[in-house]
Amino acid sequence: MECRRNPDRFRGGVRVSQRFSRAIAATVVFLTLDAAGDSALAGPDGLSEAGVYALDSSGLIAPVSPYPGNATSTYSVGAYPLAPTPLVRGSGQELVESYCSICHSVTLIGAQPRLPPEIWKKEVDKMIHLGAPIPTEMVGQIVDYLQKHYGSPQEGNSPSVPAPKPNP
Amino acid sequence: MTGLLGTALPWPREAHAQNGKGASDLVLPDTHWNAAVPTGLVPQKLPLLRLSDRPIVLETPRPFFESLLTPNAAFFVRYHLDVIPNAIDLSQWRLSVRGNVSRPLEFSFSQILSEFEPLSVVAVNQCTGNSRSRFFPRVPGTQWGNGGMGNARWTGVRLMDLLDRAGLHSHTVALRFQGLDSGRGAEGTPSHSYSKSLDVRDPILQDCLIAYQMNGEPLPMLNGFPVRLIVPGRFSTCWIKHLSWIEALTEPDQSHWMKNAYRIPKNPHRSTTPEEVAAGKLSTVPASDVPMPVRSFFVQPDVSSKLVVHLPIEIKGIAFSGSGGIRQVEVSTDGGRSWRVARLDSDLGPYSFRGWRLPWTPQRPGQVELRCRATDGKGNVQATEPIWNPGGYAWNVVETQTVFVGESA
């Protein structure tokens, strides 16, 4: 099924990553990520607005956009709060921020368990299969960064050693 | 026990007798699920456990499962792609039925409300990867505790009533469902759109609803406003939110989301090993094609407080299955050596959470391992040994709740 929105979505994503890389955690910055969503007018399918996030500088709980008090046929909820967890500093970090955050927040990287190196390689390959436009010559740097900062040695993740899960 | 898992057992008691003393040497994963993740607040929701801010993934904190129907404002949220609707104009929105049909149709919201018989079903919506954080070796993906699930009364119209109007052609093989959410990947890539298909011969189609109400209210935006596909007893991977396109296919759906993602081992335990996967020997099926396996959970006690020796409490929990509801829930207060049958609460239907409870008075101070295990309407019993598969899907291992009992004098 084709989807008829966001002809410009790729560029929109890069713009987001640039904003992230110099994110100023002071005020709520509104980012209209949806490059086609500069108008509140509905498309032919009724979708008026999508993919709108606002930086949630506290990283925790912030007020969300108020419920719009009107009686039109448009049902809206305002912007979704963004609170990306910063990545570990290191070589390759900017590439990861630029390419990975086209489609998803880098929060998802830090939210993974310490994965063995080959699993991080597989994850990056999977993302490329899903459509991540990572140039071939940059794949190595991205994989290296993830393995170095978010990886674990293989022997630490073997089924013969049960994971000690901390008790509450 | 392993050999008995997933097999149809007319009377679970007999199965347990084969377990000798009933004691297990297994070190079960700690299943404490008062997750230590920051909460986030998004429109129409209470603070929920924020697993991802973009796309939005929110887990329901454990105390909300005290209610058999999960409140809409606490219901979990999981998107694959981040271009999530913020506003929808119902004067423009249409649900389209097209593809291999006699009459391609577009239904407005008011037509769906007025031209079809409404009906309701109480059904659990559970992410295929719920409890993924329990898998060992760890697997990538959303690291859910147990809160990637919720139970609601869904009201809407029968999917088949809409399809009958459109007239499915006889050589249709599958129905593909897609919603208004999309992604920023290039068109034609899986990161641009998420859709799922069900086999046209799948009997579950007769029970599918196109829901416009959740617990008697409009669907929250993040749970699929204006309508969502309800596939009772199945994982939420196929419960398409913001459902806007239904397409009758003449060829099987070969998309990434059907052929690569959300595939689970074909065997009844849904379990394999990294070695078997590496050898390329694993046979899989789409997770959306099979009923959710039987599960049960402790809601109370949750170790938010220490128990007092000789002070009676009620152990309370929930259970569900995609196969014929819940027949029995057993609870052990001695780490699995002996089991007692819990009392089941009222029945909201075969696809709903079933509440259960058991009075218990701790007799000695110290650390106690509580366990619960459910048997479903088809006689399936929860797995005792950990399962593993590379996607981290379909976890249904017996839960263990460690509690601490303190002195009273």
A141-154 confidence digits (pLDDT tens) = 999 999 999 998 65
**Interface touch A48/B86, C-beta < 8 Å:** yes
**Interface touch A48/B137, C-beta < 8 Å:** no
**Interface touch A40/B87, C-beta < 8 Å:** yes
Residue A146, SS3?
Answer: helix
Q: Which position has the higher pLDDT, B1 or A106?
A: A106
Residue A81, SS3?
Answer: strand
CA distance to partner chain A, nearest, from residue B193 (Å): 7
The answer to whether residue A23 scores a pLDDT higher than 90 is no
Q: Which of B29, B140, B182 is facing A6, going by the closest CB pair?
A: B182
Domain boundaries of chain A, sorted by first residue: 1-83, 86-158
pLDDT at residue number A35? 39
Mean pLDDT value of segment A104-130: 95
pLDDT at residue number B201? 97
CATH architecture assignment, domain B2-30+291-406: Sandwich (2.60)
Question: Which mean pLDDT values do the consecutive 10-residue runs of chain B (409 residues) have?
Answer: 32 31 36 61 91 95 96 98 97 98 98 98 98 95 95 98 97 98 96 98 98 98 98 98 98 96 97 95 96 97 92 98 98 97 98 98 96 98 96 97 94
Give the CB-side neighbour count of residue B184, counting CA atoms within 13 A. Answer: 31
pLDDT at residue number B17? 31
CATH topology assigned to domain A86-158: Cytochrome Bc1 Complex; Chain D, domain 2 (1.10.760)
Angle (CA) B348 B351 B353, round 5°: 60
Distance CA A88, CA B7 (A): 47
Residue A154, SS3?
Answer: helix
B298 backbone φψ class: left, alpha, beta (φ>0; ψ -120 to 50): beta
Q: Which of B52, B85, B142 is facing A105, going by the closest CB pair?
A: B52
User: With the CA atoms of B355, B358, B362 and B368 taken in that order, what torsion angle do they form, in degrees rounded to the nearest 10?
Assistant: -50
Residue in B259, B250, B266, B203 with CA at minimum distance from that of residue B231: B203
- How many C-beta atoms surround the C-beta of residue B360 within 10 A? 18
**Interface touch A163/B245, C-beta < 8 Å:** no
Residue in B82, B91, B84, B83 with CA at minimum distance from that of residue B55: B82
A129-142 residue pLDDT tens: 999 999 999 999 99
Q: Which of A46, A104, A112 is facing B89, going by the closest CB pair?
A: A46
pLDDT at residue number A30? 39
pLDDT at residue number A25? 33
Mean pLDDT value of segment A38-45: 64
Enumerate the residues of chain B whose CB falls inside 8 A of the CB of residue A103: 81-82, 183-185, 191
Mean pLDDT value of segment A31-48: 59
Enumerate the residues of chain A whose CB falls inside 8 A of the CB of residue B221: 75, 77
What was the ipTM of the complex prediction?
0.86
pLDDT at residue number A158? 45
CA distance to partner chain B, nearest, from residue A54 (Å): 10
The answer to whether residue A18 scores a pLDDT higher than 80 is no
Residue that has been written with the tokens 């929920």 in this structure? B48
Which chain A residue lies closest to B189 (C-alpha atoms)? A131
The answer to whether residue A88 scores a pLDDT higher than 70 is yes
Residue B101 · residue B248 · CB < 8 Å? yes
Mutation choice for A interface testing from B24, B33, B58, B83 by most A CBs within 10 A: B83
Distance CA B356, CA B329 (A): 7
Residue A76, SS3?
Answer: strand
Which chain A residue lies closest to B194 (C-alpha atoms)? A1
Distance CA A48, CA A50 (A): 7
Distance CA A79, CA A77 (A): 7
pLDDT at residue number B23? 36
- In SS3 terms, chain B reads as CHHHCCCCCCCHHHHHHCCCCCCCCCCCCCCCCCCCCCEECCCCCCCEEEEECCCCEEECCHHHHHCCCCCHHHCCEECCCCECEEEEECCCCCEEEEECECCCEEECHHHHHHCCCCEEEEEEEECCCCCHHHCCCCCCCCCCCCCCEEEEEEEEEEHHHHHHHHCECCCCCEEEEEECCECCCCCCCCCCCCEEEEECCCHHHHHCEEEEEECCEECCHHHCCCCEEECCCCCHHHCCCCEEEEEEECCCCCCHHHHCCCEEECCCCCCCCHHHHHCCCCCEEEHHHCCCCCEEEEEECCCCCCEECCCCEEEEEEEECCCCCEEEEEEECCCCCCCEECEECCCCCCCCCEEEEEEECCCCCEEEEEEEEEEECCCCECECCCCCCCCCCCCCECEEEEEEEECCC
Q: Which of A44, A119, A129 is facing B92, going by the closest CB pair?
A: A44
Tokens standing for B20? Answer: 């000798």
Q: Where in chain B is the domain with CATH 2.60.40.650?
A: 2-30+291-406
Q: Which of A50, A77, A82 is facing B43, going by the closest CB pair?
A: A77
Q: Which CATH superfamily is domain B77-261 in?
A: Oxidoreductase, molybdopterin-binding domain (3.90.420.10)
Please give the helix or strand (H or E) that residue A69 lies within, else none.
none
pLDDT at residue number A66? 60
pLDDT at residue number A68? 67
**Interface touch A52/B176, C-beta < 8 Å:** no
Q: What distance separates the 2 farthest-apart alpha carbons in chain A?
A: 61
Residue B130 to residues B64, B150, B205, B228: CA-CA distances in angstroms? 16, 11, 24, 20
Interface A–B counts its CB contacts (< 8 A) at 227
B251 backbone φψ class: left, alpha, beta (φ>0; ψ -120 to 50): beta
Counting residues of chain A whose pLDDT is more than 90, the rounded percentage is 41
Q: Where in chain B is the domain with CATH 3.90.420.10?
A: 77-261
Q: Which of A51, A123, A131 is facing B185, going by the closest CB pair?
A: A131
Which chain A residue lies closest to B243 (C-alpha atoms)? A45
